[in-house]
């Protein structure tokens, strides 16, 4: 089965997640290491799904998995040790077998945009084959 190239709908249901920056998040210059933004996206996306009753663990137990097929990050300004970041997460588009999440990372203290990005997720079965997102999962994602 091929993944759909067109999306069924677009919508804006956002969630904010706070991330405190620890020393282990930074590089030798005291700036957040670039790859950590993908980790922050993952944490925020997992929280987004859980808040809609579509927890990653529960879905996996039912044989419904999501894999990141594409990720993009645009870096705007450095974040540093001690900063608290707010990751705004929302579903940008959803199709029969794919979901695109978008993210904005803001420094909580001043609202400055630190990074933005997106991840394209594909739904796969437990045998790692592409599949449609089950209707009951779509309902949860859509907030119905």
| Active site residue ranges | 27
3-state secondary structure of 1: coil
Longest dimension (CA), the chain: 47
Residues 6+ apart with CB under 8 A from 22: 81
CA distance 94 to 120: 10
Contact between residue 65 and residue 126 where contact means Cβ atoms under 8 Å apart? yes
CA R_g for the chain: 16
């Amino acid at each position: 089965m091929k993944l759909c190239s067109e999306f069924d709908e677009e919508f804006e249901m956002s969630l904010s997640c706070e991330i405190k920056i620890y020393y282990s998040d930074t590089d030798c210059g005291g700036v957040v290491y670039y790859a950590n933004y993908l980790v922050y996206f993952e944490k925020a996306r997992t929280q987004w799904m859980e808040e809609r009753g579509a927890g990653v663990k529960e879905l996996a137990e039912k044989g419904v998995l999501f894999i990141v097929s594409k990720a993009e990050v645009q870096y705007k300004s450095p974040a540093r040790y001690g900063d608290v970041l707010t990751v705004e997460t929302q579903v940008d588009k959803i199709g029969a077998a794919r979901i695109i999440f978008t993210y904005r990372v803001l420094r909580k203290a001043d609202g400055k945009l630190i990074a933005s990005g997106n991840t394209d997720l594909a739904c796969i079965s437990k045998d790692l084959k592409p599949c449609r997102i089950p209707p009951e999962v779509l309902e949860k994602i859509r907030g119905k």
